[in-house]
Amino acid sequence: MLLSLFIILPLIVGVFMLLMQGQKPQRWLGAFVGGALLAIYFFVTCKSGNNELVFKAEWFNFNNVKTYFALNAQGLGGLMLLLSNFTYLALFVYLATTKQKYTNTFYGLLLITLAGLNGVFLAQDLILFYFFWEVVLIPVYFLIGLFGLGKDKLRANMTFFLYTILGSMFMLGGIIYIGFYLKPASFLLADVQQVTAAAYSTNTALALLFLIAFVIKIPVFPFHTWQPTIYKTSPTPLTVVLSALMAKMGLFAVVTWYLGLFPTVSELFKYITYIAIFGLVYASLIALSAKNVKKIIAYSSIAHLALIFVSVFSELENGVSGAYFQMFSHGLVVLGLWLCIDIMEKKYHLTDIKSIGGLAKVDPTLSILFMVFGLANVALPLTSSFIGEFMMLSALFTHNPVLCVVACLGVILSAVYTLRLSSEILFGEVKNIKQKDAKKGSFGSIAVLAVIAIIIIVIGVYPTPIFNLLAH
């Protein structure tokens, strides 16, 4: 029953904040929700036994197939639950300490998004999973439409909406086919697995319907074109959610639902990995040539997610475990990067890599933290990204040495564009930065960044707790 609080609490508080229009922004209320859910998470995971990690209640019937409100916080779903609620806690504490001028409508929509995200990571029933998959889209659409930045926000929002709705329609078609023609005992994952395993003639077509929906959300080349523009036009708090969490929805869905339901559709695997590896190199080259900071981070994220995606299909335990670990690590790294960039935008009017310079001489604390996140982005040893990336590349080499060599090219390019970004902003002569601007920041925002940086280093040195959670 406690697991349902991960959905109910942010939903109720989010709706409550929507009703508080015109009143003082309640940023700390969002931080309370994130903190409370983290406390519940550690309570249920630390208790002996797994009873608190599973919840199931009958919901309704669809064409005489039972649908359950079934939740499970074990394994990868539990790790993603930890990431989502920690991200929200850090994000709302950051917003509260920097006193950013968003309204209660903005914060309420963010919390409703969290309810949907938690539902996706917990759902063990296919209908329930699809319901939460769609729930996430609604508040994000309004967040971009109401609070987006720049003249391109409406076009970017419509592109994002059409892409995701199109993908959802493919998945819905697959769900309807399963319910009407395959007729499992219920829509629980285990029951659907039984009927899809027996449906040899339709497996490939069904798998493709689900896969299209998932790769759009990650996104994987060539379904990535909505992402860079959305990152550029979204307010930073929403960009954090999109990059750190919504991308993980797609990867989580591939692992849990695509590979869970269609593990034998191997003919798709080869083509998928080739396209994704090409996308990795393509995104890295775009990031290398870009000057806009948000565009660089957006394409960097596409490249890193492509490597995770390929590793999931390696069919090797080392590669799959590394991919799971990297999903968590990538969420922390992009959280830190986006918050650093937000501070630089607010204090120093950062837009592209040439707009400021010599930040390390004026604001050394922020520069050190940004450098930590940058080094984690290139998977430097002693950072969390090194563990996952090493495991993924070693498995990929065993699976397909040629693909591994191409992936390593992407890793090298990642180091080049990340170090280029850091060196242009942090070093050289002081440019377009005033000493008095360095004093404008809050201690709280730096404290949030420091905590994220410490976690990245700690799990980079001692990753065992994360692997224990995955094995739970």
- End-to-end alpha-carbon separation of the chain, Å? 19
Residues 291 and 171 in one domain: no
Query: Residue 58: what pLDDT?
Result: 75
Q: Are residues 327 and 338 in the same domain?
A: yes
Same structural domain, 324 and 255? no
Distance CA 273, CA 311 (A): 9
Q: Please name the helix (run of DSSP H) or strand (run of DSSP E) that holds residue 298, with its range, or none.
A: helix 293-312
Residue 454: pLDDT band by 50, 70, 90 thresholds?
Answer: very high
Q: For the purposes of burial, counting CB atoms within 10 Å of the CB of 1, is it exposed (0-12), middle (13-18) or buried (19 or more)?
A: exposed
pLDDT at residue 445, rounded to an integer: 86
Mean of pLDDT values over 122-142 = 92
**Greater pLDDT, 201 or 62:** 62
pLDDT in tens, 345-403: 888 777 777 777 777 888 888 889 999 999 999 888 999 999 999 999 998 888 888 88
On whether the CB atoms of residues 407 and 278 are closer than 8 A, the answer is no
Same domain, 335 and 228: no
389-412 pLDDT, tens per residue? 999 999 888 888 888 898 899 889
Would the pLDDT of 51 be above 60?
Answer: no
List, for residues 154-168, the tens digit of each pLDDT value.
888 888 888 899 989
Q: Which helix (H) or strand (E) holds 72?
A: strand 65-72
Q: What is the mean pLDDT of residues 327-342?
A: 93
Over residues 69-97, the mean pLDDT reads 91
Residue 121: pLDDT over 90: yes
Query: Does residue 254 share a domain with residue 209?
Result: yes
Q: Are residues 348 and 412 in the same domain?
A: yes
Query: What is the C-alpha to C-alpha distance for residues 459 and 327, in angstroms, rounded to an integer?
Result: 13
Residues facing 188 on adjacent strands: 125
The SS3 assignment for 186 reads: strand
* Number of domains, the chain: 2
Separation CA 468–CA 472 (nearest Å): 6
Give the ranges where 47-74 is alpha helix by DSSP (H). none
Task: State whether 276 and 223 are in the same domain.
Answer: no
CB-neighbour burial class of residue 439 (10 A; exposed 0-12, middle 13-18, buried 19+): exposed
Last residue in a domain, options 230, 263, 296: 263
Q: Are 281 and 259 found together in one domain?
A: no
The answer to whether residues 243 and 382 belong to one domain is no
Q: What is the pLDDT of residues 5-15, one digit of tens each?
A: 999 999 999 99
Q: Which of 239, 263, 287 corresponds to the end of one domain?
A: 263
| Residue span of the structural domain in which 315 resides | 266-472
Q: Are residues 127 and 24 in the same domain?
A: yes
Residue 197: what pLDDT? Answer: 74
* pLDDT at site 318: 85
Q: Final residue of a domain: which of 210, 233, 263?
A: 263
Beta bridge partners of 304: none
Residues 133, 145 within the same domain: yes
177 and 39 in a common domain: yes
Q: CA-CA distance, 434 to 291, in Å (whole number)?
A: 22
Answer whether residue 449 shows pLDDT above 90: yes
**pLDDT at residue 98 above 90?**
no
Place of tokens 């929805």: 249
What DSSP line would sit under 300-331, residue for residue? HHHHHHHHHHHHHTT--HHHHHHHHHHHHHHH
CB 151 within 8 A of CB 164: no
